A = this chain, B = another copy of it.
Amino acid sequence: MATARPSGRPRDPDVDRKLAEAAVALFGEQGWASFTIEAVCRRAEVGKASAYLRWNSKEELLTEALTTRLGSISDVDTGSVRGDLVQLVWQMTELYGGENGRAALRLLMEAENIPGLAERYTELAQAQIMAARAIVLRGKHRGELPEGTSVTYLLDALCGGAMNHALTTRLAPPELRDSAPPAADYAERFVDFVLTSVFSREGAA
């Protein structure tokens, strides 16, 4: 998305970063209903003029901030399907459980109602769904996964499981929370748990 703004003045990356951080945090906490350029500038401790030089609207500001701060899964390619899926689960856990997790979840819920962001978000979401599916399809192509593997069920279990883990760990009763495996371990162990399903399905066929 091209942003019209006066030329001739180089953007200060430090101000860019502060504004993007503040925009994502504010959106995560309060959502689109309370999102204004003024509130972002107050939180970032940056003068309003800086923001208005950069963006014509709060939609543009939020879109750029989210694109910069929330990672994309599209570039996962470790060479093995297990390695790719561990990366995918780890990235999903970080996305929803990390510092920008609330913003990611809000995006899933509110993006469709934000003018200008809706279309960009659908594009991004579709690109990420296709990237995740490509991991599984590459695995089949390389003979690492049985031909009959359901791409949809495998990705529902893995991506959903990672999301569920990130979102509900803090809600669990304390005695369960303490025994939860550390996050670094989680991705590998969970992928192996789900992949067993795929391999045993082959044996059963």
Q: Which residues of A contact B (CB under 8 A)?
A: 29-31, 33-34, 102, 105-106, 108-109, 113, 122, 125-126, 129-130, 150, 152-165, 167-168, 171-173, 176, 180, 189-190, 193-197, 199-201, 203-204
Contacts and interface: CB of A to CB of B under 8 A. Distances in A.
Please tell me how many copies of the chain the complex holds. 2
Contact of A161 (B31, B130, B161): B161
A127 B113 CA distance: 33
A36 to B, nearest CB: 12
Contacts of A155: 164
28 contacts: A105-B105, A108-B167, A109-B109, A126-B171, A126-B172, A126-B173, A129-B171, A129-B173, A130-B173, A152-B180, A155-B164, A156-B160, A156-B164, A157-B190, A157-B194, A159-B160, A159-B164, A160-B161, A160-B162, A160-B164, A163-B163, A193-B201, A194-B197, A196-B200, A196-B204, A197-B200, A199-B200, A200-B201
